[in-house]
Amino acid sequence: MFNKVLIANRGEIAVRILRACRELGLKTVAVYSEADRQAMHVRYATEAYLLGPAPSNESYLKGDKIIEIALQSGAGAIHPGYGFLAERADFAQAVEDAGLEFIGPKPSAIAAMGDKAIARETMMKAGVSVVPGTEGTGNLSDEELLKLAPEIGFPLLIKATAGGGGKGMREVKSLDEMPVALQSARREAKAAFGDDNVYLEKLILGARHIEVQIVADKHGNVVHLNERECSLQRRHQKLLEESPSPIMDEELRAKMGEVAVQAAKAVHYESAGTIECLVDSDKNFYFLEMNTRLQVEHPITELVTGVDIVKEQIRIARGRKLSFTQADVKINGAAIECRVNAEDPYNNFMPSTGKISHMVLPTGPGIRVDTGVYAGFEITPYYDSMISKLIVWGETRAQAILRMRRALEEYKIVGVRTNIPFHQAMMDSHRFMGGQFDTRFVEEEFSLEEIAEGKETFPEVAAIIAALVTHDQTERAAHVVRRGDRDTSNWKWLSRWERLSK
């Protein structure tokens, strides 16, 4: 049985997994790119090895090199996190072939669920509804897809066969739009996954995106850990998740949970996984895909069930049986996660890079922050813009929302722009508070400006601050010129200010 784990990832999820290993008394091996020498996961691990230059395909995607490092360092297992190599059956197979434990499902399960078409077929055979589309028909040409589209009906979605995270996805309202959309979807899919195959899927309007977490051991025991509500998305990227879902009732939860367990059993699933579904306004649900890995939003499930999903993954990989049964799984209170991205919500969510010069984390009761950054760390353009996750727990959903409000107000990140103001507006949105939203809410009906309307404003305060800041800077600049640069503190202040203001 292994007692040293290599974490084949970076950022908050690498740190999350390192922590779980620590708490289980396991040694850890980090791998890193040249851009990440000062990253938290490198500083934090027992051992750390350089993979290569910053771009992912020269570092975090180098499966062979990672396996080599694992073998040389004596790590007995590899945890892939999410993204990068997490859903690559060939990597999982190579890990197994090297005599190492892959902390995740078997390669066959990844392969079965990784190709969306095969996945949908598998699910239909298991008696689960899927969204109408071109599933199971192999890799179709543009011509074939254009012919099939009217049969499915509009609006519809073009989705990457190898895809995930909204990449290579396009929405199409009519046949006219299709040729252009197909071209750009294929281009994006090619860039993201090295595979430009796409398929079509009916777009269900008013749908909620709800997923069920499952955990399965090597002994055939599968338990579901209830649902997560993930409808709040922008460009098919989740922004905010909660558990339980405000639309869920016990009957639907039991039904979806049962289906999720069946799906996992159908592919002899092991470790943690997620069944993603769309739920329409009549509470019919359709299978979308299975994520054969740890999910970004796993912490909300941890907070309401008390199960540490990452530790459970490690225990399962070590051959242990699940320590709980379906009957033991309860829902305690409510949890919300806000993904904190280095993006400017006032400028069309444009990614923001730079050095985090100052950071104050929200702390206190019911707050969890999963992060891989710290004050002094440089956000580079090479990786995902998600820099941390703010997760809160409350006795009730209302308490969780109030707590999230205060946590967001406490969270200070200076040096890069973040989407914290977006989340603040969301917490003030009546539609969100009422639980009335679908997957299109953020893009089509939500506006930062509208939420701000009717709220108390402080233009005079802003005017005073703007004038005082300008005045201070002018004075300090004059002061520095007069006194020369002996006056350290002012000089430093100004220099730092100038750097920050660039």
* Chain contacts with other proteins (rule: CB under 8 A): 29-30, 37-38, 42-49, 73, 167, 188, 191-192, 235, 342, 346-348, 350-353, 357-358, 375-377, 381-385, 408-409, 412, 414, 417, 421, 424-425, 452, 455-472, 474, 492-493, 496-497, 500-501
Angle at 167 between CA 133 and CA 427, to 5 degrees: 100
**Concatenated DSSP letters for 136-161?**
TS-S--HHHHHHHHHHH-SSEEEEET
Contact partners, residue 97, CB within 8 Å, separation at least 6: none
For the bound state, the minimum distance from the C-beta of residue 304 to a copy of itself, rounded and expressed in Å, comes to 12
User: Rounded to whole angstroms, how far apart are CA atoms 390 and 362?
Assistant: 9
Q: Is 405 in the site for a copy of itself (CB under 8 A)?
A: yes
Q: Which residue has the tokens 């004596």?
A: 74
Question: Which residue lies nearer to other proteins by CB, 365 or 459?
Answer: 459
Min dist. Cβ of residue 379 to a copy of itself (A): 17
CA 182 to chain centre: 26
Catalytic residue among 293, 339, 397, 403: 293
Residue for token digits 């190579």? 94
Confirm or reject binding of residue 302 to a copy of itself (CB under 8 A). yes
Query: Residue 22 or residue 268: which is nearer to a copy of itself going by CB?
Result: 22
Taking alpha carbons only, the member of 99, 103, 63 closest to residue 81 is: 103
Among other proteins, a copy of itself, none, what binds residue 255 when CB lies within 5 to 8 Å by partner kind?
Answer: none
Residue 127 interacts, among other proteins, a copy of itself, none and using kind-specific CB cut-offs from 5 to 8 Å, with none
Query: What is the edge-to-edge ordering of all strands in the sheet holding 198-202?
Result: 170-172, 156-160, 198-202
Taking the CA atoms of the chain, what radius of gyration do you get in angstroms?
24
| Least distance (Å) between residue 127 CB and a copy of itself | 36
Q: Give the H/E segment covering residue 460.
A: helix 459-483
* Closer Cβ to a copy of itself, 118 or 375, answer by number: 375
Q: How far is the CB of 24 from other proteins (least distance, A)?
A: 19
Indicate the residue among 365 and 458 with the shorter CB distance to other proteins. Answer: 458
Q: Say if residues 5 and 314 touch (Cβ distance below 8 Å).
A: yes
> Residue 463: left if φ>0, alpha if ψ -120 to 50, beta else—which one?
alpha
Give the residue with the Cβ less far from other proteins, 146 or 414: 414
* Cβ 343 to other proteins shortest distance, Å: 8
Which among a copy of itself, other proteins, none contacts residue 47 (Cβ within 5 to 8 A by kind)?
other proteins
> Closest approach of Cβ 403 to a copy of itself, in Å?
5
Q: Residue 155, preceding bond cis, omega within 30 degrees?
A: yes
Q: Select 319 or 376, whichever has its Cβ closest to other proteins.
A: 376
Contact of residue 219 among a copy of itself, other proteins, none (CB under 5-8 Å per partner type):
none
For residue 222, what are the CA distances in angstroms to 265, 295, 302, 465? 7, 17, 17, 58
Does 360 participate in binding a copy of itself (rule CB under 8 A)?
Answer: yes
Q: Which two tokens stand for residue 63?
A: 């499966």
Q: Cα–Cα distances in Å, from 119 out to 112, 122, 125, 262, 273?
A: 6, 5, 10, 13, 14
Nearest to 230 by CA among 439, 453, 488: 439
**Nearest residue (CB) to a copy of itself, 111 versus 426:** 426
| Cβ at position 26, least distance to a copy of itself in Å | 11
Binding to a copy of itself (CB under 8 A): which residues in 147-206?
none
Contact characters 320-339, a copy of itself, x per CB under 8 A: ------------xx------
The two three-digit tokens of residue 10, written as one number: 């970076």
320 carries an active-site annotation: no
What tokens were used for 446?
């939500």
For the chain, the straight-line distance linking the first and the last C-alpha, in angstroms and rounded, comes to 53
Residues that bind a copy of itself (rule: CB under 8 A) add up to a total of 41
Write down the least CB distance from residue 227 to a copy of itself, Å: 20
Residues numbered 34 to 53 that lie near a copy of itself (CB under 8 A) are: 44
- Give yes or no for residue 472 binding a copy of itself (CB under 8 A): no
Residue ranges that bind a copy of itself, judged by CB under 8 A? 15-16, 19-20, 22-25, 44, 299, 302, 306, 308, 332-333, 358-361, 363-365, 367-371, 374-376, 395, 399, 402-403, 405-406, 410, 485, 488, 492, 495
| Residues marked as catalytic | 293
